[in-house]
Amino acid sequence: MEFILRCYRNFKIALLYMMFAVLSAAAISSCKQPETIYLKSPEAAPEAYQDRSPAQLLELVALRQITEIEAGEYKRGTWDSVMSSKPSVGPWFGYPQGVTLMGMQYANRILEDPVIDEFVRDYIKIATDDYAYSVWQRKTFGKIHKKGGSFSRLIRMNMLDDCGAGSAAMLEAISRDQAYVTTELTEYLNNASYFIYETHWRLEDGTFWRPVSPGSRPLSMWADDLYMSCPFLVRWAEYKNEPEFLDDAVRQIINFASYLQDDDGVWWHAYLVDLDKPATYKWGRANGWVMLATAEVLSAMPDDHPQREEVLAIFRRHIEGLKNYQSESGLWHQVIDHPELTWGTETSCSAMFTYAISRAINRGWIDRSNLEVVRKAVDGLNKKVEADGTILGICRSASIGDGLKYYEDRPTRPDDQHGPGPIMMALSEFLIAEQN
């Protein structure tokens, strides 16, 4: 009966997912905005970075993320009251913003800037208040006003992208300061936990997968989903003192590796479940998500965990594989093992690798001789940031490519939201390694 109920829940989610994909495509096609995009990965002007230290770069990027945020009115009563409420204002809440919030918190371990703390606190408060207001609307009226606002992904919650990274950042904030805890935040985290742990699609062996994937190939397992789940699971395990959530994260790392880690240690972007084979390209940021997630899981595992050595072996193989593909610039390419592509090196994945390798050095998982790898990478990252903090060379979102040309043609946009969080995580962990 439990299996039947889970299948029924997943079937309902799949139907909603497909409906959302159709509506989203229509909305996007009617609301396109002109923007600056590039097909190749540029560098900043030399005068922007020549005399800039990693600490200065960290502060520059962190402070640039502080943008306008404002709470909505959240009027209750009649539907007319709801429609007249002033909407909340803030950066769009999706998984990239969740990583940015995590990066800001990591950065502030070094910077100790109260302005950054205030932004993170206010953003989380507004986001979860907005979520609670949307839940109330749906319960009271059966619908939500202005459903497509900045925080609509919180209420949608039908894929790991919607809640995993953001929830992990919220739990990171709680671990530093219990003052973050509110009724609204608790409600959101409980619902995120239920979705991730109880209702998201899994294979028979418990591995997360995507039978439905709007705008991309269905019946697939994405390396990306390790970060969209594991950092939340390990923090939820600690917060609730329930180790089964940590064990689930460990299971995800091991299972995903069995499907996606190649003989050279590097990971394929995805696994095609219906064809029982991996997709044939090793996209940079997919490998980055894996590195971040594995570092987070290892950081949470006790020394006597029975599967610790297995996860360490997976991680070390990945690091050694990536070291073999590091470019002369210190960064890694859009498709890891295809440096001949004219796209160039990709900033977000390079930052993710820098963070993970620095964390491995700091925790004693690998030898300190690897510090030269991350020093070279940080030098390369510095050259990707303009004097005002604009980050260059970030690949925009990517689906599972059916050929190298797909990855070659992915555009890069200055300050794309996938870049700031990883750079802040990388620089903060690197600075700790240098201090040590």
Is residue 144 one of the residues assigned to a domain?
no
- Distance (Å, whole) CA 69 – CA 119: 8
- Distance (Å, whole) CA 330 – CA 101: 26
Is residue 5 one of the residues assigned to a domain?
yes
Q: Please tell me the predicted confidence (pLDDT) of residue 405.
A: 96
Q: Which helix (H) or strand (E) holds 221?
A: strand 220-222
Is residue 288 one of the residues assigned to a domain?
no
User: What string of pLDDT tens digits covers the 436 residues of the chain?
Assistant: 343 334 434 444 444 444 434 433 333 333 344 455 665 788 999 999 999 999 999 999 999 999 999 999 999 999 999 999 999 999 989 999 999 999 999 999 999 999 999 999 999 999 999 999 999 999 999 999 976 678 888 999 999 999 999 999 999 999 999 989 999 999 999 999 999 999 999 999 999 999 998 778 999 999 999 999 999 999 999 999 999 999 999 999 999 999 999 999 999 999 999 999 999 999 999 999 999 999 999 999 999 999 999 999 999 999 999 999 999 999 999 999 999 999 999 999 999 999 999 999 999 999 999 999 999 999 999 999 999 999 999 999 999 999 999 999 999 999 999 999 999 999 999 999 999 8
Is residue 28 one of the residues assigned to a domain?
yes
C-alpha triplet 340, 42, 90: angle, nearest 5°: 125
Q: Please tell me the predicted confidence (pLDDT) of residue 150.
A: 86
The structure tokens 């300061």 sit at 177
Is residue 163 one of the residues assigned to a domain?
no
Give the total number of structural domains in the chain. 1
Is residue 11 one of the residues assigned to a domain?
yes
Is residue 18 one of the residues assigned to a domain?
yes
Residue 257: what are its φ and ψ, rounded to 5°?
-60, -35
The C-alpha R_g of the chain, in whole angstroms, comes to 21
Is residue 291 one of the residues assigned to a domain?
no
Strand partners, 381: none
Q: What is the pTM of this model?
A: 0.91
Q: Which domain holds residue 2?
A: 1-34
Q: Do 231 and 173 form a contact (C-beta atoms < 8 A)?
A: no
- Distance (Å, whole) CA 156 – CA 19: 12
